[in-house]
Amino acid sequence: MIGIHPVHRRLAELALRAKLLGDFKLLSPVEKQELSHCLSVNLELVRKLDSLKSLAFIAYDCGDVSWHQDICAEIEALESKLL
């Protein structure tokens, strides 16, 4: 089973609503605020994962096994919250 983070599910719901309405501009002010919030949360999730994955590559490339394992554990913990 593939899990979907609640933020991503809400983004999909808002996108569907906007599609049915004909444009994102037609969402209610509350829905637009929610969309902005979901996009911000998504941005932070992506930035954090990308940063950790870059660090993991550097740790691997340096041969620092302990550091690499620590970073991979952080990645796994963050990804488990996405399910």
Residue 70 covered by a domain? yes
Give the integer Cα–Cα distance in Å for 46 and 8. Answer: 12
Residue 1 covered by a domain? no
* Spatial CA neighbour of 41 closest among 82, 75, 74, 77: 82
Cβ count near 63 (within 10 Å): 8
Residue 31 covered by a domain? yes
Number of domains in the chain: 1
**pLDDT tier, 2 (very low <50, low <70, confident <90, very high otherwise):** low
Residue 72 covered by a domain? yes
Give the integer Cα–Cα distance in Å for 40 and 14. Answer: 14
Give the integer Cα–Cα distance in Å for 61 and 69. Answer: 13
Place of tokens 């550097």: 58
The pLDDT tens digits of the residues spanning 5-31 come to 889 999 999 999 999 999 999 999 999
The residue segments making up the domain with residue 41 are 6-80
pTM, rounded to two decimals = 0.80
pLDDT above 90: residue 1 = no
The pLDDT tens digits of the residues spanning 18-74 come to 999 999 999 999 999 999 999 999 999 999 999 999 999 999 999 999 999 999 999
